[in-house]
Structure 1
Amino acid sequence: MITFGEMESGVSYTQRQGVYGIIYNEHENLIALVKTDDGKYFLPGGGLEGSESHYDCLVREGIEEMGKLLEIGEWIGRAQRYFYSENDREYYLADGHFYFASIVGKAGEPIGADHQLKWLKTGAAVKKIFHEHQSWAIQRAMAMIENN
C-alpha cells in the first residue's frame, strides 16, 4: 500500500479508516470536491462509523456533505497519509479506501453547513486537494479511465 507523509518517532497516531468517492464528469473533465469553510478541499467521503460498510459510509457522507444520493462504483485503491490535524490537535494515520461514485439524486440540503460541493478541472483538483493520498486517488482514477 502506498503511504504519504512521514511517521515521526515517539508520536502516537490515531488510525482513521475512511471511504471516499471520485465523482467524475467526463463531458467537462470535472471532479466533485467538498470545500470547507477554512478553504480546504477534500474528496466526498469520510470516516467509517461503528460497523458501517464502505458503501453505507459513502452514502451517508454524500448526504451529510453534499445533500446528494450517491451510487458506489468500481474500487480504485487504498492509500494512507500521516499528518497532524491543526483543528483536532492530534496526529493521524488516515487510511483511505477509494471508489468511483456517481450522483443519482438529491437528498435535501447538506447537513454540514460548512461544506460546499465544488466542481474543479481534474488538474486543479489534484493540486488543490488537502490530502496527498486523495490527490493520488484522483490521478489513479484518471489513469484507470484512460486505460479503459
Structure 2
Amino acid sequence: MSLRVAVAAPFIQNGTRRLKENEFVVALSLDRDWFSPDQSKRLIDVATQEGLLEREDDALAVTFDPAEVTVPEEFVPDEDLLRERSAFERVLDSLVAEGVEKHEAVGAINTLQQELGLTIEAAAVVYARREGLDVDDLVPVARSAVLEAEES
C-alpha cells in the first residue's frame, strides 16, 4: 500500500519509530520533494485516521514496523493519498494487499450487501472478517455508516 510506504519513508530515513511532526514534514517535503509542507501535514492527518501514525506529546509514532517496508527508488506517492478514504476503500486495499483479487472482493462484498441489507462499509468489514483479516479499527467507521443510513 503506497500510503504505508509514504508514511514509513521518513522513519526509515531517520532510523527511528518516533519523529517530531516537523521532522516528518521536512522528510517528505524538503528531503524527498514528494509533497508540500501543507500536504505533508494532511498526510499526517490521513495516516493518523487510518491508524498508521499516533500522535504522542510533540511527536509522531509509527504503529507498524517501518523496517518491514521497502521504499522503491522510483517510488513517488500519488496525491490521492491525501484524501480520506471510506471504510470500503480501506478494507478493499487491505484485502488486495493480502492477495485477494480486487474484482473478486468487490463482487463478494456487493453480494453480502444485497443479501444482508447492509451498507457497503459494513458488508466490506463482514467479508474481510470472513477472510480472516483484522479490521477491528474499521468497525466504528462501518457502524457509523450504518447509523447514518438508518437516519436517512
For normalisation by structure 2, the TM-score amounts to 0.30
Q: Higher RCO, 1 or 2 (CA under 8 Å, sep at least 6)?
A: 1
For normalisation by structure 1, the TM-score amounts to 0.30
In proportion to residue count, which structure has more helix?
A: 2
